[in-house]
Structure 1
Amino acid sequence: MSLYPFARSVVAGLLKPTYRIKVEGLEHFPKEGAVLLCTNHISNLDPPVVGVTSPRKVFFMAKAELFNVPVLNGLLKNFGTFPVKRGGGDREALRAGLKVLKEGNVLGLFPEGTRSKNGELGKGLPGAGFFALRSDAAVVPCAIIGPYKSLKTLRVVYGKPINMEKYRQEKISPEEMTNIIMSEIGNLIKK
């Protein structure tokens, strides 16, 4: 039996009332098929917040260092999270991410690669563009807006899937595609 549904309900019960999480744009989230979910990164709580607000299970890529913590290692694997070695092209992580998408699941990425120190949207890494261009996944931008402060509203906004057809035909670079994805996340934050 998977621990995911139980853990998701427990985490939702803790996070949603504490941070008054308001979810917008769920109607844009594809009900089936592969989805590349790209979100800004402002807190260590971002993965669980996205996990409890997404209408589907999200498989996250997380920094390899987290898998060195014994208890955390088992939990992360049970939740479908897989490691990525930061600072270079981790081929194993790229293959694992493509496999998640090929199986029609949701791959959650934080294209900035690390948390923003000042809350501002940073530059995205080319991995997001790689997955967007190398798969048939719907690419859904997402923005987490607001402070993680008790009893303050935290908004999670899911945007419309990016129309990938022309970008895949034009064979743009992963860097260019990541810039487009980051621009869409930035538009959600500005709204």
Structure 2
Amino acid sequence: MNFYRFVINIFKGFSKIFFKYEVIGAENIPDRGNIVIASNHKSNLDPIFLAAAIENREIAAIAKKELFKVKPLGFILKKLHVMPINREKPDVSTIKTILRSVRDGYVLGIFPEGTRIKGDSFGKAKAGLSVFTIKSKSKVVPVSIISKYKLFSKVIVYIGEPISFEEHFKEKLSNGDHERISQEILEVIKQNYFKYSK
């Protein structure tokens, strides 16, 4: 068992012991092919809940570079395929590394809003989700995490069906186009969030 899978098993145990943890739609994660997972982000627990839900693929995620300055945390994040990024101005080498991870078979995990948005509110999607989706020629799997984030409360990770954006792969898209596509994906996440919040 590699380090990634070892830690994911810890995440699963944590989620099931301390929460009423339920995954819906796990079959919507394809066993192969380029995939970007896009999820809402309301708590620091979201990466744990999300990673624990994906059993058939390994996730390569993006996190703000400041987290990597904390030495033990930075080491662990790298072992878990998490890549540092300057959220305000990502450099070319970082973008290439992220795209390479998708080509290498990892599922790319992204929080479209780029930061935590607490409560039942949603922010505005950043262009980055669309940029990485189009450049990596991936399908997007929308994920909605529904929880009050209190011990022993219910947690639902709803995994939607993959969405194809193949019609845009050969187009020259503006930043506004990318923001619009990212927002379309976030709207799906939002709809499923409120559907399963009831």
* Aligned residue in 2 for 1:3: 3
Partner residue of 1:189?
Answer: 193
Q: Given the two structures, how large is their TM-score scaled by the length of structure 1? A: 0.93
CA deviations 1:39-80 (Å, max 9, x no partner) are 000101111111111122111101101100010111011111
1:19-168 aligned at under 5 Å gives the runs 19-55=19-55, 56-168=57-169
Amino acid in the other structure paired with 2:32: E
Q: CA, structure 1 residues 171+180, in 2 after alignment: closer, same or farther (shift >3 Å)?
A: farther
Instruction: Please say if residues 146 and 155 of structure 1, whose CA atoms lie closer than 8 Å, have aligned partners that are also in contact.
Output: yes
Q: Which runs of 4+ in 1 moved over 6 A?
A: none
Q: Whole-Å Cα distance in 1 between the matches of residues 147 and 6 of structure 2?
A: 27
Q: Aligned to 1:142, what secondary structure does the other structure show?
A: strand
| Equivalent residues, number | 191
Kept after mapping to 1: 8 A contact 2:67/2:73: yes
Change (3 A) 1:187 1:117: closer
Letter in 2 for 1:4: Y
Report the Cα offset of residue 107 of structure 1.
0.5
Q: 1:49 to 1:149 in 2, by over 3 A?
A: same
CA contact (8 A) 2:61 2:83 kept: yes
Which is further off, 181-190 or 36-45? Answer: 181-190
Q: Tell me the distance in 1 between the aligned counterparts of 2:97 and 2:38.
A: 17
Match of 1:175 among 176, 179, 188: 179
Over the aligned positions, Cα root-mean-square deviation in angstroms equals 1.6
Residue identity over aligned pairs, in percent, reads 34
Gapped regions of structure 2 (runs ≥ 5): none
Residue type of the partner of 2:118? K
Letter in 2 for 1:88: K
Aligned partners of 2:138 and 2:164 also within 8 Å: no
Shift of residue 170 of structure 1?
Answer: 5.7
Is contact 1:121–1:186 with CA below 8 Å preserved after alignment?
A: yes
Partner of 1:136: helix, strand, or coil?
A: coil
Distance 1:122 1:2, change over 3 A: same
List alignment gaps of at least 5 residues for structure 1: none
Give the distance between the partners of 2:37 and 2:141, measured in 1 at CA: 5
Are the counterparts in 1 of residues 137 and 169 from structure 2 also a CA contact under 8 Å?
Answer: no
Q: CA deviation at 1:92?
A: 2.8
